[in-house]
Amino acid sequence: MQELVIRRPDDWHLHLRDGGMLRGVIADTSRHFARAIIMPNLVPPVVTSADAAAYRERILAAVPRGHRFEPLMTLYLTEGTDPDDVETGFRNGLVKAVKLYPAGATTNSHSGVRDITKVMPVLERMAEIGMPLCVHGEVTTPEVDIFDREAVFIETVLDPLRRRLPDLRITMEHVTTKDGIDYIKEHAANLAGSITTHHLIINRNAILVGGIKPHYYCLPVAKRETHRLALRAATVSGDVRFFLGTDSAPHADPLKECACGCAGIYTSINTLSCLAHVFEEEGALDRLEAFTSLNGPAWYGLPVNEDTITLRRGDEPVRYPAKIETEAGPVTVFDPMFPLYWAVV
């Protein structure tokens, strides 16, 4: 196959940041993606519906002329979140989901949840109205190894929460383990998972072998090869519970290349090329559209995009920049460590 036409894709987990960084990265998403679930972990975070409305306007103002892009807003769950405000934002169509960050789990998560019992009134309201909860599925207790955080979260937080609120719709975002994949497969009702581009390509060796590679460092951190293979199998399976959420997370290079570097990998610019490569390797190009364009809208109750994009396989590798320049500084682009031959026409 040399050419593939698919419905225009969506990104169900995206970091756009704000200000100069937002203006520098938005085009790499809006060029090919119709919609994206926008992460709320700004400084200060997007906590209220008013915050979400203001942030949405800043995003739309940054979209290049001629691009059609719809930001799907989320609220950052805190122990002081107002259930009435959450419901109002959801019912008027402004807010599509609420994001649960365990405090300290990732970038700008210090305002997150430390005691899940304190947010039960919000979660109970969300279950009543059918509003999805997006979770960063890791515990942050210091005695848990960083490579075990997802498995322990499933056992100690997610499963008890789902038993208490079986009607709550939960997206396990950026699943990184076989444990997460298996849990979703075993529990069909009200549970789905997004999978990133980079976790399909790298394992933890990419970060650690031959020296520390800060541009492969993300949270949740990449795991063993057995987990990467489980993610790939789920991604190309066609299972409607799995869909693309790039977790593309730009940081200026000085914040990555330092003694305590930030977590995040920037993939928006070459995600579709990388995914076509992965699906071709797995003999599953016919299922790429389901993962990028069909399963996510079905889960979030939105129509599939009517327009299409065309991916074409060239004879020569596609050339992507090693870095993009933004007002906030240079951002290194994800290097999959193999040549890419598929590109959007």
pTM of the model: 0.97
User: Is 247 part of the annotated catalytic residue set?
Assistant: yes
Domain assignments of the chain as residue spans, ordered by start:
2-344
Reported confidence tier of residue 216, pLDDT bands at 50, 70, 90: very high
Q: Determine whether the annotation assigns residue 219 to a binding site.
A: yes
Report the pLDDT value the prediction gives residue 108, as an integer from 0 to 100: 64
Reported confidence tier of residue 147, pLDDT bands at 50, 70, 90: very high
Q: Determine whether the annotation assigns residue 185 to a binding site.
A: no
pLDDT, tens digit (0-9, with 9 covering 90-100), for 152-176? 999 999 999 999 999 999 999 999 9
Q: Determine whether the annotation assigns residue 203 to a binding site.
A: no
How far is Cα of residue 111 from the mean position of the Cα atoms in its chain?
19
Q: Determine whether the annotation assigns residue 169 to a binding site.
A: no
Closest CA to 296 of 77, 34, 31, 42: 34
Reported confidence tier of residue 277, pLDDT bands at 50, 70, 90: very high
Q: Please compute the mean of the pLDDT values over residues 204-233 and round it to a whole number.
A: 98
Q: CA 214 to CA 300: how far, in whole Å?
A: 33
Q: Which amino acid is at 193?
A: G
Q: What's the mean per-residue pLDDT of the chain? A: 97
pLDDT, tens digit (0-9, with 9 covering 90-100), for 279-336? 999 999 999 999 999 999 999 999 999 999 999 999 999 999 999 999 999 999 999 9
Q: Which two tokens stand for residue 120?
A: 């039960």
End-to-end CA distance of the chain: 15
* Catalytic residue selected from 51, 82, 247, 315: 247
Q: Determine whether the annotation assigns residue 41 to a binding site.
A: yes
Query: 2-344: what fold?
Result: TIM Barrel (3.20.20)
Q: Please compute the mean of the pLDDT values over residues 117-123 and round it to a whole number.
A: 96
Secondary structure of the chain in HEC code, one letter for each residue: CCEEEEECCCEEEECCCCHHHHHHHHHHHHCCCCEEEECCCCCCCCCCHHHHHHHHHHHHHHCCCCCCCEEEEEEECCCCCCHHHHHHHHHCCCEEEEEECECCCCCCCCCCECCHHHHHHHHHHHHHHCCCEEECCCCCCCCCCHHHHHHHHHHHHHHHHHHHCCCCCEEECCCCCHHHHHHHHHCCCCEEEEECCHHHCCCCHHHHCCCCCHHHCCCCCCCCHHHHHHHHHHHHCCCCCEEECCCECCCCHHHHCCCCCCCCEECCCCHHHHHHHHHHHCCCHHHHHHHHHHHHHHHHCCCCCCCEEEEEECCCCCCCCCEEEECCEEEEECCCCCCCCEEEC
- For residue 135, report the phi and psi dihedrals to the nearest 5 degrees: -120, 135
Report the pLDDT value the prediction gives residue 1, as an integer from 0 to 100: 78
Q: Say if residue 195's pLDDT is above 80.
A: yes
Q: Determine whether the annotation assigns residue 136 to a binding site.
A: yes
pLDDT, tens digit (0-9, with 9 covering 90-100), for 83-110? 999 999 999 999 999 999 988 767 766 7
pLDDT, tens digit (0-9, with 9 covering 90-100), for 255-271? 999 999 999 999 999 99
Q: Tell me the HSE value of 195 on the side-chain side, using a 13 A CA sphere.
A: 32
Q: Determine whether the annotation assigns residue 17 to a binding site.
A: yes
Report the pLDDT value the prediction gives residue 304, as an integer from 0 to 100: 98
